[in-house]
Amino acid sequence: MAGRILKSDIDEVRARVNLGDVIGDYVSLKSAGVGSLKGLCPFHDERSPSFHVRPQVGMYHCFGCGEGGDVYTFLQKMDHVTFAEAVERMAAKVGYTLHYEDGGSAAQESGNRARLLAANRAAGSSSWSASRPRARIPAGASWASAASTVRPPRTSAWGSRPRAGTS
């Protein structure tokens, strides 16, 4: 596993990324004055925009729910990724090569997320219907005749038995 990302690289990627463009991929933003954008908050339901983004400062804040932070915080909350994955995504987006404390230059996909993604790929390649047993019908019988022999339980919709004389 690669080491921690250098703080200087984290700050450099944060400076190169346009926060308005990143959040604009998730939220429809409109101009709200000089150097400010606003839109509907993706973290709670609302009708009037209270989610403000200031790309020059590199921060966002929602006055409705109080959520706020920088580009990494936004990606962590929206995409459910770790801090390191958020930094790596933004570095790839701006074309910046990250450096790690242990001297590595590229992060290896590790952790629970990578194992879950691999498990999902493996599960998607197998056919579930081919592995399950098929129902057997006696020779000469049809599905209709097999289904007609099954009788529904004698209960009402409420779970009790119907009154005598009705059915």
CB atoms within 10 A of CB 85: 19
167 residues of the chain, pLDDT tens digit each: 457 889 999 999 999 999 999 999 999 999 988 889 999 999 999 899 999 999 999 999 999 999 999 999 999 999 998 898 899 999 999 999 888 887 655 545 555 677 777 888 888 776 655 555 666 666 666 666 665 565 555 665 666 666 666 65
pTM of the model: 0.61
∠ CA(136), CA(138), CA(142), 5° rounding? 90
DSSP assigned state of 106: S
CATH architecture type of domain 7-105: Alpha-Beta Complex (3.90)
H helix count then E strand count, the chain: 7, 5
